[in-house]
Amino acid sequence: MSTATNPALQLNMSQLLSRALEAEMGRDDRIVVFGEDVGGLGGVFGATRNLQRRFGERRVRDTPISEMAFTGLAVGAAQAGLRPVVELMFVDFIGVCLDQVYNQAAKNAYMSGGAVSVPLVLRTAVGLIGAAAQHSQVLSATFAHLPGLKVVMPGTPGDGPGLLLSAIRDENPVVFLEHKLLLKQRAGTARHPGAIDALDQPIPLGQAATVRSGGDLTIATAGWAVQQSLEAASVLADDGIEAEVVDLRSLVPLDRETLTSSAARTGRLLVVDEDYLSYGMSGELIAVVCEELWEHRPRVARHALPDVPIPASRPLEEAVMPNPRTIAEAARRLVLA
């Protein structure tokens, strides 16, 4: 099917994800879905729509607002042979149940010497959407910092299903970060199609996608910032600056090869991150590249959310969020300096 006529282009990422989940649940009866409002409502962002109607309350369960209990329940159920897909409505809520994620799910395979595995997926919505400091974070680096969790973040709606299939089929706990703006974005309006023509094919975790080629700098990023960076790249192209944009797709495992080989070619790396600046993904990617390419003395820069809680009012929110203009400015500084 050619991209232009693919009806999936009319669907947003939440619709694409719910279809992928539905298909995978049809194939694998070990999959159960838990979370707040995942049943009748189909998820506050719609990513579990139709699932309860198709599979019943036995497999698709609204939970009470008890994140500690239902994430812990998912850990036990995974160890007992099921494959829970848990929705944490907003990633910001991880504060009330992190223990079960980082002390139990993430560690049990290692602590058991490989005797147990915890194949669960924690799906959660991230990113700025006008909901202020407690409902707008990304927190990808928080999870990526903790050993034992895979961390996946689609950068375009078309990659959502393939990445989700890999996450569900993985034997390890996977934190699946869904940007709210991507959940609402129709695949056809995205700045790159991703795997929209191969939605039933799992996308291996740890495989970045070079979504734009260019020789002047590498922009490495993930999530909604991929779309923003591509927009910035087209602005830069008008100025004669060609940016290569690498969509990491997963932070853990990290595709070091694609990252460093691109940075080696361009000699410049800009990391764009909607998560906080300090101790974050931007510093980590730059460290990886500098350690690997120190002989080439790569020039590096980071553009991330400043270290402030995210404000509510639109002008204030826009002042902290990386956007195509600020990304292009950061890229120009790096290239022209």
Partner 1 sequence: MLDLEVAYRSMVRMRAVEEAVQLGVISGEIHGEMHVGIGQEAIAAGIEPLLTDDDAVVSTHRPHLHALVHRVNPVAMLAELFERDGGLCHGKGGHMHLFSPDRDFMCTGIVGASVPIALGYAFARHYRERAGLAVAVLGDGAANIGAFAESLNLAALWRLPVVFLCEDNGYGISVARDAATAGAIERRGEPYGIPGRRVDGTDVTAVYDAAEQAFGQARAGQPALLVCDCYRWSGHYEGDTDHYRAQAEKDAAMTAERDPIQRLRARLIAGRANEDELTEAEAAERARVAEWVAEARAKPSPNPADALSGVFV
- Span of 95-103, 156-164, 184-192, 281-289 interacting with partner 1 by CB under 8 A: 95-103
> Pick from 4, 80, 336, 337: which binds partner 1 (CB under 8 A)?
80
DSSP class of residue 186 equals: B
> Pick from 26, 40, 95, 147: which binds partner 1 (CB under 8 A)?
147
- For residue 123, the minimal CB distance to partner 1 (Å) is 17
The pair of structure tokens assigned to 240 is 């004669």
For 47, 148, 247, 280, the CA distances from 43, given in Å and listed in that order, are: 6, 27, 26, 29
CA–CA separation, 97 and 31 (whole Å): 21
Interface with partner 1, residue 69, by CB under 8 A? yes
For 220, 236, 311, 324, 330, the CA distances from 318, given in Å and listed in that order, are: 21, 21, 9, 11, 16
β-pair partners for 212: 245
Collapsing DSSP to helix, strand or coil, 298 comes out as coil
116 CB-near residues (< 8 Å, 6+ apart): 79, 108, 109
Interface with partner 1, residue 75, by CB under 8 A? yes
Interface with partner 1, residue 72, by CB under 8 A? yes
Query: 243, 232 in Cβ contact below 8 A?
Result: yes
The residue (of 56 and 309) whose beta carbon lies closer to partner 1 is 56
Annotated active-site residue 135? The verdict is: yes
Catalytic residue among 36, 67, 244, 274: 67
Interface with partner 1, residue 167, by CB under 8 A? no
Number of H helices and E strands in the chain, helices first, is 13, 12
Interface with partner 1, residue 148, by CB under 8 A? yes
- For residue 258, the minimal CB distance to partner 1 (Å) is 20
CA–CA separation, 265 and 170 (whole Å): 33
The residue (of 82 and 139) whose beta carbon lies closer to partner 1 is 82
Interface with partner 1, residue 76, by CB under 8 A? yes
Active site residues: 67, 135
Please report, as ranges, the residues that interact with partner 1 according to CB under 8 A. Answer: 32, 58-59, 61, 63-64, 66, 68-82, 84, 99-100, 103-104, 107-117, 147-148, 150, 171-172
